[in-house]
Amino acid sequence: MKKNYFMVCERCGRRLERLKEGSAQGLRCADCGWSVVTTHISGIKVDETKYEVSCGGDYKNEAHIRAVSEVTGYNF
């Protein structure tokens, strides 16, 4: 038989539900509004790995050059 465990509110003793809004995460009581939150920073924002991105295309094709210009932020 599988048991379900859940945390209870410090204030009223009712069940807490997970909270995730933007960069905040935590637990919230739906009955009295008590909550405990912490900052959630997604892995992609703290990733310090250096990546190298390259693309292939025809340097004589205007659409290709414009696409590269737009992505890199360099003038066409």
Q: Give the residues lining the site for Zn ion (CB under 5 A).
A: 9, 11-12, 14, 29, 31-32, 34
Report the residue number, 11 or 66, with the smaller CB distance to Zn ion: 11
Give the nearest distance from C-beta 26 to Zn ion in angstroms.
Answer: 14
Give the nearest distance from C-beta 4 to Zn ion in angstroms.
Answer: 19
Give the nearest distance from C-beta 11 to Zn ion in angstroms.
Answer: 5
In Å, how far are 5, 55, 58, 66, 67 from 72, measured between CA atoms?
50, 11, 16, 10, 9
Report the residue number, 5 or 59, with the smaller CB distance to Zn ion: 5
Class of residue 29 by CB neighbours under 10 A (exposed 0-12, middle 13-18, buried 19+): buried
Report the residue number, 5 or 76, with the smaller CB distance to Zn ion: 5
- Bridge-based pairing of strands 24-29 and 16-21 is antiparallel
